[in-house]
Structure formats: structure tokens, C-alpha cells
Amino acid sequence: MKNVYIEKAENWLYECAYDGLAHSFDTTTQKWVKPYPEVTGYLLEYMCINNYNEKKLKKIASTLLKYQDKNGGFPSFFDKHILFAFDTSQILIGFCEYYKKTNDFKYYNAAIKAGNFLISCQLDNGAFTPIYNKKTKEFIIDKNTYKIWNGPFSGLMCKLTEGYKALYEITKDEKYKEKIKKTISFYKNQPDIDYTHPMGYFLEGLYAGGEKDLVKDKIEKLVLPQIQDNGYIPYSKNLPYAYVSGTIQLGIMCYKTGFFEEAERILNYARLVQSKHQSGGLFQYATKDGDLDNHVHTEINSWGTKYYCQLERCFENV
Amino acid sequence: MFKNKFLPISKIIYNTIKQNTTKEEKILEVGCSSAHISLVLKQKGFNIKGIEIRKEIVDKTNKFLNKKNIQFEIITGNVLNHNEKYDMLWSSGLIQCLNNNQKDFFFEHFIKLANKAIFFVPKRINYLPPTKEDYDIAVTGCEEFPTGDIPFILSKYYNKVKYKIIPKNKIKMDIDFIVYICKN
């Protein structure tokens, strides 16, 4: 049976990548904004797994490839000279999925190159230097990077285990397994993050690195107490709005660690948010009642909508 | 004494320091040895002096400086006992000789001396036992430790750490060097 929620959201995802890059949609100006390589990587992975139109996949993959620096890294959406380890990892996952689907070695090679960039950013103790300035050829550790999320060595960087995992899957090279272990050895001891979205990344990284019990423990202690009756979780305890993607990410982690009732409550909240805009996409920031929150901006974002599709799919066969 | 001292790496060190300071800033080279780079900077008008723990090296260098009638101050002593304030410190070939505990001691002290520091370090992947290399080129008798965690350790003390690899083929050496530019 068709899931109309997924259908609407996926139609939005299809539209948001109209030129090969994922965009957000500004509901105030009614314009597509922020062409974003990193989240295009998420989209590529999701679209490959869920059998989107081949022409669309090719357009996205080939567009992304143009952004890859010769050292393998990728920029974010705001400064083409700054390459991010985090963004690079998300994009390489998309390339791995696209390679698995098409056997196009161009993307295998691009993924390896991206992996080499990650390795160049990783220190002996497992921490990643988050930024590389390709103009000055400098790696940068700045205390202002991810400042409110515990700084440059934030637990969110643990998500890079997913990149190594994807590389292991296509190469069967044990070195990537070693890199996963190294990443986990550092990041599992990093402090928890008070904000849902990066906390979601942290848990996703720990989960991909095999730390299911630790993730379950964190969900139980830190996440469950925050989930309100309708599935709403504030972005941070002191904030009056949700970062919707973060809420949904935690919902997926609840599902994966066996907290199905909580995951379903979060799913219902996400459906409530989706219902508030005709496009099928989800606001990046929303109130407890699911309405657009405009403290930061008024955009619908692709990564939140993508995570929503994934949470819906968790319950598809239940 | 400085014959063959100004190697390709010396030129890179010299240029890096010049690019990251001004003639108004007060600079200290830590573990200066024969101070051949700082000497050139001094002659170019930079306000720079050195500190070196090995008395025999300081004596040898001072003898040369006196012979050439060159004014350059080298303090004989341990930088950990030195408390004068500077605008910038720099050092080459010292940090890799410190184990992680020692690095913490040094950086904790360095940030009291200056808000800015530049370190040039050979990229060591594995531990190197004490060397019998030429006294003036390498740190004779010192073991050298892997350098892969230096950025992390530096980031505990400095708000911003930038580092860059100087490839071995560029400096005609057997090993890459890494330059760390650190600021508070």
C-alpha cells in the first residue's frame, strides 16, 4: 500500500535537487536556496537505496563530482575554499551507493579519494581535524568550529564512521575497519551534546561503529526523558522550538535501539510538521504544534525531509 | 659556522616567520641551537632573540658571533624557567623530542610567554631512538616521538591551530616537515 506521507516527501526531495544539488526552500521568499553538497550526498544515498529515476541519480552524482577538490575533500555551501571532513564523509557515502548501483568506477575512485582526505584529517588519537583550507593548504582546528556543539572535536564527528563503513563495503579493505575502531576509540569518550541534531549525528556514528549498547544507554538516559507526549523534542532544553531533523534522527535511533513507542510518537510529530506545508517537505525549525518556527529562518530543508522518509520507512513493514 | 646551514627548510622557516610577524613584535626562538635563522631575521630588523639549554652550543655560537661582531642575544637556560613576555615564540626540531606529558608542560608554559607560536616539526610516524646525527642539524642524543597527535595537544592550549605539511621533496630531506601556527 502506498504511503502518502513518503510519496509527498519524496516528491519534494526530487524537486529540491532540480539542478543536481539539494536545496532548501525558503517559505518566505518562495525560492530555492542553499545548494548544499553535503546534504546532496545524503540524498544520493537515499535515492540510490530507494530506486529513484536513473537519470536523476546520474545528474546528482555527476554534479557532486564537480565539487570534489583534487585532494578528495568537499566544501560546504558557503565558502568554496574551506573543505570539511564531515561533509566529505557524507558525500562519499552517496558515491559508494551510486557505485554499488551502477558499477561506475569513476565514483568508486571518487569515494576512495574522499576517504584519503578523511584519513589525512584524522589524528593518531582518532580525532578529526574538521577543516582544511585549500587556498592556504592548511588544516585548521579552531575553537569556534562547532562551538555550541562542544567545539572542533565534537561527538558529531563520530558520524564519519559511516563514511569508513561505506568504503569498507565497496573495497573490503580492512584498513577502513581499523579507521572505524580508531574513530570510535576517541569519540565514544566525548561529552554528550545538548542539541538534538548533532547529538543525532553522534549517535548515528556510534551505532555505525558497533556501539549499539552505548547508543541505547544514551537514548534511555538523555533522549527518552525529553520526548514530549506528541513526539516533540526541543532543539535544546532552553529553546522553544525543535530542529526537526534532529528530532527525527533521534526517532530513528529510538527505533533502532528498540524504543518503538517513542519512535512512533516522533513519527507522528514529524507527520504533523509535514502537514503544515502543502509541498510535502518539512520545516527545519518547528514549534511544538508543528508550525513553522522563525527564530532562525523559515526554510524547509532536504536533510530533515530525507530523515523523515527514513523514519517512515522504519515503520513501513510494521 | 653557518656553512651549509641555510637549507631549503631554513628558507621556508624564515619566510613563514616573516609572514606571521612584524618588526614591532618581540620574538623568542626556543631551543635556538646556532640560531642561524633567527640571526638572519635579526639582521633584517626583527626584534628576536634565542634561548638554548645546551651551554656548549651557546658558547660556540657566541664565539662565532663575537668574531663576526654580530649582536644577537642567546639566553642560556631552560625555557621552562624563563618568564619574560613575548609576542611570538618559534621553535624548530624541539617538539618531536618531547613525550606527550612533556609537551603539555611546555605548551602550558609557552602560552604564558606569548599568545602566538610557530613550531616546525619533522613528521614522525614511529618512535625514533636517540640519534648520533650532527649536533648542529639534529637533536643529538634525543629520542623522537610520533607527531600525529600534536595538533590535538596544541588545541588544548591555543584557540586556533593551523598546520600544513612541507613535503620532503620540496625541502630535499628524507622526511616531511609540518609547520604549526598557533594563536590565542
Whole-number mean pLDDT of chain A? 96
Segment B45-69, tens digit of pLDDT: 999 999 999 999 999 999 999 998 9
* Gap from B125 CA to chain A (nearest CA, Å): 9
- The domains of chain A are located at 1-34+192-313, 36-191
Helices A37-49, A4-16: inter-axial angle, 10-degree rounding: 140
CATH code, A36-191: 1.50.10.20
Residue B1 is predicted with a pLDDT of 46
Question: What is the mean pLDDT of the segment spanning A296-315?
Answer: 97
Cβ contact A79:A131 at 8 Å:
no
Q: Which residue has the cell 549498547?
A: A213
| Prediction pTM value | 0.94
CA dihedral A50, A56, A58, A60 (to 10 degrees): -90
Q: Determine contact: A126 vs chain B, CB below 8 A.
A: no
Do strands A31-33 and A24-26 pair parallel, antiparallel, or not at all (unpaired)? antiparallel
Residues 142-171 of A with CB under 8 A from B: 142-144, 152-153
Cα distance between residue B62 and residue B67, in whole Å: 8
Residue B32 is predicted with a pLDDT of 94
Query: For residue B141, is it left (φ>0), alpha (ψ between -120 and 50) or beta?
Result: left
* Cβ–Cβ below 8 Å for A137 and B164: yes
Instruction: Give yes or no for residue A37 having a pLDDT over 50.
Output: yes
Instruction: Give yes or no for residue A174 having a pLDDT over 70.
Output: yes
pLDDT (tens place) for every residue of chain B, 184 residues total:
454 567 889 999 999 999 999 999 999 999 999 899 999 999 999 999 999 999 999 999 999 999 989 899 999 999 999 999 999 999 999 999 999 899 999 999 999 999 999 999 999 998 888 876 554 444 557 889 999 999 999 999 999 999 999 999 999 988 999 999 999 9
Cα distance between residue A12 and residue A27, in whole Å: 13
Segment A95-134, tens digit of pLDDT: 999 999 999 999 999 999 999 999 999 999 999 999 999 9
Residue B135 is predicted with a pLDDT of 44
CATH code, B8-183: 3.40.50.150
Residue B138 is predicted with a pLDDT of 47
Q: Is the dihedral of CA A219, A222, A225, A226 positive or negative?
A: negative
Residue A53 is predicted with a pLDDT of 93
Q: Chain A: residue nearest B154 by CA?
A: A141
Residue from A124, A134, A135, A157 whose CB has the most chain B CBs within 10 Å, to mutate: A124
Residue A77 is predicted with a pLDDT of 79
Cell of A280: 510535502
